[in-house]
Structure 1
Amino acid sequence: MNEIIVEGRKIGPNQPPFIIAEMSGNHNQSLERALEIVEAAAKAGAHALKIQTYTADTMTLNLDNKDFKIEDPESLWKGNTLYQLYQQAYTPWEWHKPIFNRARELGMIPFSTPFDETAVDFLEKLDVPMYKIASFENTDIPLVKKVASTGKPLIISTGMATVAELDETVRAAREAGCKGLILLKCTSTYPASPENTNILTIPHMRELFNCQVGLSDHTMGIGVAVASVALGATVIEKHFTLSRADGGIDSAFSMEPEEMKALVIETERAWQALGEVKYGPTEKEKASLKLRRSIYVAKDMKAGEKLTKENIRIIRPGYGLAPKYYDLVLGKAVKKNVKQGTPLSWDILL
């Protein structure tokens, strides 16, 4: 799988997982808070900071009939119209530049999810280095083509999409000029539960579409993300906030700074642990071989005396004959006097 390079940072299976902190609407309509989130994400070790580029008017219509109302009793946003939700959650477009500038100053890669063609045009003027397509837009083929035509790396969340739908999306992106494609396994519930996350899909998706695959993770904690790295995930995206107690549109399923820090550390450990298929001692283990068990003389013996269960034992350390020879050497005689604590070897036997 080819590595993708974004602003000098490599993303791929031979690199530590690429961790994206998604701000979404957790700025609670405060630019000052938005910049604090950027700083906290950088301090926690996130590699990228992502926002979303839309307005309520580019997302939906300002209507309150049943089609446009959120009535799911389990939804965090029940009772709102779609227009009301996006009015609360959107990131003002004039904030994008200061947010991106602060992220770059702190060593992170800033980018965004555009939700319509005007957002792509706006982000191009800000020279974003990569794009993301959200799960709910992964069947919006005209939008996918527009983003892909920029030629910049493209991350696509795959929530809800069937294999057939993903095939259409991936084909459209590649035909429109996308070279660096990353798909994210995603479960579009907020929060998501581990049992509905199905991360075994990650290696299957990688083989099916011949591209890098990561995880857009709405579960609580870091366990699912760490496990996904073991299955080959190269990118992890998590919603991020300063504190869930502060409230906000996505706060209930967002990570706090200490959790993000743990995510960065533990996913890198998981990646380091993958290594290669290997048996036998590693270089570091070779020094431990001496602590294996082996056969030792357990009592002083005189020349000609035979080995018995009383005068030899299988013990640590490992300088004597291997334990597998124990039954073979019983009854054999020593050719010279042997002191207790001598490792048994063939050259002292008759």
Structure 2
Amino acid sequence: MTNTVYINGRAIGPQHPPYIIAELSANHNGSLANALLSLEVFKSCGADAVKIQSYTADTMTIDCDRPEFKIQGGLWDGYTLYELYKEAHTPFEWHQALFDKAAELELTLFSSPFDESAVDLLESLNAPAYKVASFEATDLPLIAYIAKTGKPLIISTGMASLEEIEEAVSCAKNNGCRELVLLHCISAYPAPVEQANLATIQDLAKRFGCVVGLSDHSLGNIVATTAVSLGAALIEKHVTLDRNQPGPDSAFSLEPHELKELCNQTKLAWQAVGQIDYSRKKSEEANLQFRRSIYFVKEMRAGEKINKKHIRRIRPGLGLEPKFYEQLLGREVVQDIKPGMACAWNLLKPIDS
């Protein structure tokens, strides 16, 4: 696996600014006009890509009201699975218009396909990459089908055990995937900050030798920004035009001004991490003069020997370094000294004279 992935020519990896994906999901609220406007707005906020979800209620589940098909608790309490996906899906017939709009905006658009028919649709639209959602991370036949396209593949790991992640990665590799991103993810909506366990990001990178990132469902931007400081090269967040609009994902989605903050904050976090560097920075140069150094604080006559009352380690830093303090004691000065003069070797009688 490579530590750099390219989507539409944009390099994604630890040596590059974080790649920000605005997840539209169901936040179009059933309106193609909303979906198209979202592409414009998210692009203007600085997102590198927008991601949609490609499924229908019938490709996700069956229309059944048995207890196991009903959602209990959480944001979608009371829905059957079929009802939820029927309300939340992005119709296949919208996809062409969305991809055309993205091309017009010079915006990267790709999707999470949830079955092979969705992959086929996305291939016909020349989707530049694919995302496997956490809930499908154990669907190895789907991962294999996507991997065979040869496109970059992003896999979310929410709910997955280490063994299941290993199986998904092996499946992707064995079916032709050469550009893989693993996203640490907590599949809760919203996800509690105290359960984020962002240290897992570094472990994923070490174990699998691939680009890693975060699919973040927590409220706000603190988790995502912190993740970048721990090596996340890609951040995915749900975004909505207006959190007050009704919709299955609105409550845990960012609004445009928050997306803009996310783009700015994560870039700053990446810049702050930088690289291992012990050299003096250019921005520090002007402050060198305010270090401590050794100064004369009493008058002295030429030939007089220095004792502790004559010198002190004080600011500014234009005299000899404090580490020479003990060496100066007992040395003769070769000229008259005034208080406030910086100690310098040329003011002292050489030791071998």
Indicate the residue corresponding to 2:156 in structure 1: 157
* Counterpart AA for 2:149: T
Indicate the residue corresponding to 2:37 in structure 1: 36
> 1:49-107 deviations in whole A, cap 9, x for unaligned?
00000011111111111110001x3x100011111111111011121122222223223
Indicate the residue corresponding to 1:61 in structure 2: 62
CA shift for structure 1 position 150: 0.6
Distance 2:186 2:198 in 1: 10
| Alignment check: 8 A CA contact 1:305 1:333 kept | yes
| 1:1-350 equivalence runs, <5 A | 1-71=2-72, 73=73, 75-350=74-349
Distance 1:51 1:70 in 2: 23
Flag structure 1 segments of 5+ consecutive residues without an equivalent. none
Distance 2:227 2:331 in 1: 56
Give the superposed CA RMSD.
1.5
Percent of pairs with identical residues: 53
Larger displacement relative to structure 2 (152-161 or 227-236): 227-236
> 1:205-262 deviations in whole A, cap 9, x for unaligned?
1121121111000011111111111221111000001121223110111111111111
Question: Structure 1 residues 309, 101: CA separation in 2 closer, same or farther (over 3 Å shift)?
Answer: farther
| Alignment check: 8 A CA contact 1:42 1:103 kept | no
> 1:131-163 deviations in whole A, cap 9, x for unaligned?
000000000111111111111000000011111
TM-score (normalizing by structure 1) = 0.95
Distance 1:307 1:222 in 2: 60
CA shift for structure 1 position 348: 1.0
Flag structure 2 segments of 5+ consecutive residues without an equivalent. none
CA shift for structure 1 position 308: 4.4
* Counterpart AA for 2:61: T
* Counterpart AA for 1:38: L
TM-score (normalizing by structure 2) = 0.94
Distance 1:208 1:184 in 2: 13
CA shift for structure 1 position 310: 4.2
- SS, match of residue 154 in structure 2: strand
| Alignment check: 8 A CA contact 1:214 1:234 kept | yes
Larger displacement relative to structure 2 (4-13 or 301-310): 301-310
Equivalent pairs, count = 348
Question: Structure 1 residues 320, 78: CA separation in 2 closer, same or farther (over 3 Å shift)?
Answer: same
Distance 1:101 1:274 in 2: 37
CA shift for structure 1 position 112: 0.3
Distance 2:212 2:279 in 1: 31
CA shift for structure 1 position 292: 1.0
> 1:191-217 deviations in whole A, cap 9, x for unaligned?
001211111111111121121111000
Distance 2:330 2:220 in 1: 61
> 1:292-348 deviations in whole A, cap 9, x for unaligned?
111112244322344344443322221101122234424433221123322101221
Distance 2:310 2:54 in 1: 80
- SS, match of residue 244 in structure 2: helix
Distance 2:200 2:65 in 1: 38
Distance 2:245 2:217 in 1: 18
| Alignment check: 8 A CA contact 1:187 1:217 kept | yes
> 1:15-42 deviations in whole A, cap 9, x for unaligned?
1011000000011111111122111111
CA shift for structure 1 position 290: 2.3
